[in-house]
Structure 1
Amino acid sequence: MPLTDPTATTVSATATSTAPAPSRTPRAAGALLVLGFVLLSLNTRVAFGQIGPLAPVAGWGPGTVTLLALLPPLCMGLFAPLGALARRRLGEERGLFWASVLLLAGAVLRTAGLPGLYAGTVLVGVAVAVVNVLIPVFVRARFAPRRIGTMTGVYALSMGAGSAVVAALVAPVAGAWSWQAAIAIAVVPAALAAAGLAPQLRVARTPAGPVAPAGRRRVGRTALAWSLTAFFGVQTLVFYATLAWLPTVLVDAGLSRTTAGTDQAVLILGLAVGGFLAPTLAAARSDQRPHILGVAAVCVLGLLGLVLAPAGGAPLWAAVLGIGMGGGQALAAVLFARRGTDPDHVAALSTMAQTWGYLLAATGPALASALHTASGSWAAPLLAMAGLVAVGCVLGLRAGRAVTKPRRDPSDR
Structure 2
Amino acid sequence: MPLSTASAPSSAPDQASPGRAAPASGALLVVGFVLLSLNTRVAFGQVGPLAPVAGWGQGTVTVLGLLPPLCMGLFAPLGALARRRIGEERGLFWASVLLVVGALLRTAGLPGLYAGTVLVGIAVAVVNVLIPVFVRARFAPRRIGTMMGVYALAMGAGSAVVAALVAPVADAWSWRAAIGLAVLPAVLAAAGMAPQLRVERRIPAAAAPVRRRPVGRTALAWSLTAFFGIQTLVFYATLAWLPSILVDAGLSRTAAGTDQAVLILGLAVGGFLAPVLAAARADQRPHLLAVVAVCVLGLLGVVLAPATGAPLWAGILGIGMGGGQALAAVLFARRGTDHDHVAALSTMTQTCGYLLAATGPALTAALHSATGSWTAPLLTMVGLLLAGSVLSLRAGHDARP
In the alignment, is residue 254 of structure 1 matched against residue 250 of structure 2?
yes
Whichever residue aligns with residue 103 of structure 2, its letter is A
In the other structure, the counterpart of 1:170 is: 166
Alpha-carbon distance in structure 1 between the residues aligned to 2:397 and 2:339: 20
Q: Identify the match of residue 152 of structure 1 among 148, 151, 157.
A: 148
Alpha-carbon distance in structure 2 between the residues aligned to 1:13 and 1:331: 26
State the shift of 1:401 in Å: 1.5
2:2 alignment partner, SS class: coil
In the alignment, is residue 86 of structure 1 matched against residue 82 of structure 2?
yes
In the alignment, is residue 266 of structure 1 matched against residue 279 of structure 2?
no
Alpha-carbon distance in structure 2 between the residues aligned to 1:218 and 1:97: 29
State the shift of 1:393 in Å: 1.1
In the other structure, the counterpart of 2:220 is: 224
Q: How does 1:90-101 map to 2 (within 5 A)?
A: 90-101=86-97
Report Cα offsets for 1:365-399 as digits up to 9, x if no partner.
00000001111100110000011111111111000
- Runs of 4 or more, structure 1, over 4 Å off, are 8-17, 207-210
Q: Are 2:17 and 2:202, in contact at CA under 8 Å, matched by a contact in 1? A: no
Distance 1:381 1:209, change over 3 A: farther
In the other structure, the counterpart of 1:406 is: none
In the other structure, the counterpart of 2:138 is: 142
Report Cα offsets for 1:149-198 as digits up to 9, x if no partner.
00000000000000000000000000000000000000000000000000
Alpha-carbon distance in structure 1 between the residues aligned to 2:85 and 2:2: 25
In the other structure, the counterpart of 1:407 is: none
Alpha-carbon distance in structure 2 between the residues aligned to 1:208 and 1:131: 22
In the other structure, the counterpart of 1:376 is: 372
Q: Are 2:16 and 2:204, in contact at CA under 8 Å, matched by a contact in 1? A: no
Alpha-carbon distance in structure 2 between the residues aligned to 1:77 and 1:7: 31
Alpha-carbon distance in structure 2 between the residues aligned to 1:77 and 1:33: 27
In the alignment, is residue 320 of structure 1 matched against residue 320 of structure 2?
no
Alpha-carbon distance in structure 2 between the residues aligned to 1:180 and 1:169: 13
State the shift of 1:7 in Å: 3.5
Structure 2: 5+ residue stretches without partners: 8-14
In the alignment, is residue 113 of structure 1 matched against residue 109 of structure 2?
yes
Alpha-carbon distance in structure 2 between the residues aligned to 1:97 and 1:350: 19
2:306 alignment partner, SS class: coil
Q: How does 1:11-410 map to 2 (within 5 A)?
A: 13=16, 15-16=18-19, 26=23, 28-207=24-203, 213-403=209-399, 410=400
2:43 alignment partner, SS class: helix
1:50 alignment partner, SS class: helix
Whichever residue aligns with residue 355 of structure 2, its letter is L
Q: Are 1:69 and 1:365, in contact at CA under 8 Å, matched by a contact in 2? A: yes
Query: What percent identity do the matched residue pairs reach?
Result: 81
2:392 alignment partner, SS class: helix
Q: Are 2:82 and 2:91, in contact at CA under 8 Å, matched by a contact in 1? A: yes
**How many residue pairs were aligned?**
393
Alpha-carbon distance in structure 2 between the residues aligned to 1:395 and 1:35: 37
TM-score, with length taken from structure 2: 0.95
Report Cα offsets for 1:249-271 as digits up to 9, x if no partner.
00000000000000000000000
Alpha-carbon distance in structure 2 between the residues aligned to 1:343 and 1:131: 15
State the shift of 1:215 in Å: 1.9
2:251 alignment partner, SS class: coil
Alpha-carbon distance in structure 2 between the residues aligned to 1:14 and 1:402: 29
Alpha-carbon distance in structure 2 between the residues aligned to 1:207 and 1:175: 53
Structure 1: 5+ residue stretches without partners: 404-409
Distance 1:38 1:59, change over 3 A: same
Alpha-carbon distance in structure 2 between the residues aligned to 1:140 and 1:337: 7
Alpha-carbon distance in structure 2 between the residues aligned to 1:45 and 1:34: 19
Whichever residue aligns with residue 302 of structure 1, its letter is G
Q: Are 1:9 and 1:29, in contact at CA under 8 Å, matched by a contact in 2? A: no
TM-score, with length taken from structure 1: 0.93
Alpha-carbon distance in structure 1 between the residues aligned to 2:210 and 2:287: 33
Whichever residue aligns with residue 286 of structure 2, its letter is P
Alpha-carbon distance in structure 1 between the residues aligned to 2:19 and 2:36: 27
Q: Are 1:7 and 1:31, in contact at CA under 8 Å, matched by a contact in 2? A: no
Distance 1:173 1:209, change over 3 A: farther
Q: Are 1:6 and 1:142, in contact at CA under 8 Å, matched by a contact in 2? A: no
Distance 1:208 1:100, change over 3 A: farther
Alpha-carbon distance in structure 1 between the residues aligned to 2:211 and 2:311: 51
Q: Are 1:303 and 1:317, in contact at CA under 8 Å, matched by a contact in 2? A: yes
State the shift of 1:145 in Å: 1.0
1:185 alignment partner, SS class: helix
1:373 alignment partner, SS class: helix
Alpha-carbon distance in structure 2 between the residues aligned to 1:334 and 1:80: 18
Question: Cα RMSD between the aligned structures?
Answer: 1.7
Alpha-carbon distance in structure 1 between the residues aligned to 2:205 and 2:302: 47
Alpha-carbon distance in structure 2 between the residues aligned to 1:123 and 1:232: 22
State the shift of 1:13 in Å: 4.7
State the shift of 1:344 in Å: 0.2
Alpha-carbon distance in structure 1 between the residues aligned to 2:357 and 2:337: 27
Q: Are 1:44 and 1:128, in contact at CA under 8 Å, matched by a contact in 2? A: yes
